[in-house]
Amino acid sequence: MKLSGKVALITGASRGIGKAIAKVLNENGATVYLVARDAEKLSVVTHEIDPTGDTAFSCVCDITSETSIYEMFKRFKADNISFDILVNAAGIAKSSAIENLSLEQWDQVLDTNITAQMVLAKHCFEDMKEKGGGKIINIASILGTVASPGMSAYSASKGAVIMFTKTLAVELAKYNIQANAIAPGYINTDMTKKMMSDKELSQRLVARTPAGRLGDPEDVAKVALFLATEDSNYVTGAVIPVDGGMSVALM
């Protein structure tokens, strides 16, 4: 298997895109450490991915807390666990017009969607440098390059993810570490469930998507698998849209 012997850390792994990525990496040989805040849900997903408990492990952590991340990596170090692959899949969205957007909402979105990615990348960098290479995969969004009303905090965070990833790619190339981003379009996840329950809006989004459907978490996971393997060793600084063609279609 392509990822045999590799160890991956995946945030936002208790659901949606993060869960799908953790599953496909594990199916391809990686030992996976799933990170999320909900211990109960995380435990269920981890057992679902690997009922034996040998190759998938739960890591309860609040990634918006630098202290919580530090304590998690302290435990990893004590157990001689180091990472070849980091997938920053955790993310939240707060829809609010600018006149109603509070600083608390803004900070919550940016702390989760971009600041945590930076802190986690810093911690994993030392492992990857010591191992002679690694893969950093950040989940961005097509809303990091195009605007949607009410999504200023989310779009700002995802735009930052894109530029953070490109800068990482340039800085870390000399260590044989590849950093890439995936920019999903509208994917069927818990985050989009409420929006997709609006039948008229859902039909409008599908009509604007050349592929003729909304995406599934597995569509994103398959791209993450490519970016996690040696097949992508000469790919770095890329932002790969997984949106059924929405971002390139005029109508």
Question: What are the strands of the beta sheet with 239-242, ordered from one edge?
Answer: 56-60, 31-36, 7-11, 85-88, 134-139, 177-184, 239-242
* Residues in the chain, overall count: 251
Say how far apart CA 156 and CA 143 lie, in whole Å: 9
The answer to whether 154 is a known catalytic residue is yes
Nearest to 43 by CA among 64, 20, 60, 18: 60
Choose the catalytic residue: 33, 70, 154, 234: 154
Say how far apart CA 221 and CA 17 lie, in whole Å: 7
The three-state secondary structure class of 240 is: strand
**Residue tagged 């000399």 (tokens):** 174
The upper half-sphere exposure of residue 148, i.e. CA atoms within 13 Å in the direction of its Cβ, equals 19
Angle among Cα 18, 186, 201 to the nearest 5 degrees reads 140
- Which residues are known catalytic residues? 154
